[in-house]
Amino acid sequence: MSALSDFFRHGRMTHLDADDHYAVYFNQTRGDARYLQLSGGNLTDQLSMTKDGQAAVTLASYSDTVSSSNTQRRFKGTQASPSAVTTGIGLGNFIFQGALTSSTVGNAGAITVNSADNFDSSQCPGRMVFQTTASGSTTLTTRMMIRENGNVQIASPASDTGEKLQVNGDAYIQGVVNIKTGNTFQVNGVDVIGARKTGWGTPTGTLSRAAFDQSTVTLPQLAQRVAALVTDLLSHGLIGA
C-alpha cells in the first residue's frame, strides 16, 4: 500500500467500499484503484499529508442541489458507548501553524467552535472563538468570540453585557456610524446624544467664540457667542432646521 503522502500526491479518494472497511482512491500515475486500510470503520491513525511544494485539499461538487461539505463532529465517551456533548468543550477547530525549528511548530492562529451548554434533542448552542499569537509570544490569545446568541465580543471581554457588539479597547472607524431613529448614544449607560432637535434657524451677523467675563459681558457680546454656539451645533448636526 502506498504511503499517505503518495496517496495525496498521485491520486484522489473516490468512495468507501461496500462494507465501509476501505477508503478507495484512484491512482492517476498507475491508472488503477488502491485501498486505504480502515479499522472498525475508521482510519487507524490521523490522516495527514506532507509534500514538497503546495499541499492542498480540494472538495468539488457537481450538483444542482448540494455543495461541498466539511463536517467536524464531537461525541463524548467512546465509539462503543458514545454520549451527548456537555457545556464548554471543543467541537472542532482549524489551527494554523508554522515551523519554529526543523522539527517543531508553533500555533499562529486558530478558529474553534465550543459548546455553550449541554446538548440534547432541543438544543445544541455553540460559540466560535478566533485566536492569534502576538509578536514575541508563542501562546494563542482569544481576539474575538461570536456567542451562541449572535453577540460579538472583541478583545476577549470578561462577560456578555447583552449588546450585539462589545469591544474591550479603543476603536477606529473610517466611515459613517448610523444610529437608527429612536436610539441614543450612551456613555456608561447614560444617554448623551439622542435624536436631532429641529426648528432652529441659522444666526446672521457677527459670530464670536472668544472668552468672556460673565460679570461684565454686554448683551451684544453674549449674542455673538450664542450665535457662534448655535452655528456650531447646526454644523455638527445635533440641532437642525
From CA 108, how far away is CA 97, in angstroms rounded?
A: 5
Tell which wins on pLDDT, 33 or 58: 58
Please give the tally of structural domains in the chain.
3
The set of cell numbers assigned to 137 is 509570544
Residue 4 confidence class, pLDDT cut points 50, 70, 90: very low
Task: Give me the domain span that covers residue 164.
Answer: 71-172
Q: Are both 217 and 125 inside the same structural domain?
A: no
The set of cell numbers assigned to 139 is 501562546
Q: Are both 53 and 117 inside the same structural domain?
A: no
Per-residue model confidence (pLDDT) at position 29: 53
Q: Are both 154 and 233 inside the same structural domain?
A: no
Q: What is the pLDDT of residues 6-42, one digit of tens each?
A: 444 444 454 544 554 455 555 555 555 444 544 455 5
Backbone φ/ψ region at 3: left (φ over 0), alpha (ψ -120 to 50), beta: beta
Q: Encode burial over 34-49: b for 16+ CB neighbours within 10 A, e otherwise.
A: bebebeeeeeeeeeee
Residue 105 confidence class, pLDDT cut points 50, 70, 90: very high
Per-residue model confidence (pLDDT) at position 175: 94
Q: What's CA 166's distance to the chain center, in Å? A: 13
From CA 241, how far away is CA 237, in angstroms rounded?
A: 10
Per-residue model confidence (pLDDT) at position 206: 95
Q: What is the pLDDT of residues 190-224, one digit of tens each?
A: 999 888 899 999 999 999 999 999 999 999 999 99
pLDDT > 90 fraction of the chain, expressed in percent and rounded: 55
Q: Which of 172, 199, 224 is the last residue of a domain?
A: 172
Per-residue model confidence (pLDDT) at position 7: 43
Residue 86 clears pLDDT 90, i.e. is over it:
yes
Q: Are both 151 and 228 inside the same structural domain?
A: no
Q: Are both 110 and 197 inside the same structural domain?
A: no
Q: Are both 82 and 62 inside the same structural domain?
A: no
Per-residue model confidence (pLDDT) at position 209: 96
pLDDT > 70 fraction of the chain, expressed in percent and rounded: 78
Question: From the CB of residue 153, how many other CB atoms can be counted at a distance below 10 Å?
Answer: 23
Q: Are both 188 and 110 inside the same structural domain?
A: no
Residues 6+ apart with CB under 8 A from 194: 184, 185
- Report yes or no: 220 and 210 within 8 Å, Cβ to Cβ: no
Q: Which of 139, 172, 205 is the last residue of a domain?
A: 172
Q: Which of 157, 172, 187 is the last residue of a domain?
A: 172
Tell which wins on pLDDT, 179 or 49: 179
Residue with cell 515551523: 99
From CA 75, how far away is CA 82, in angstroms rounded?
A: 6
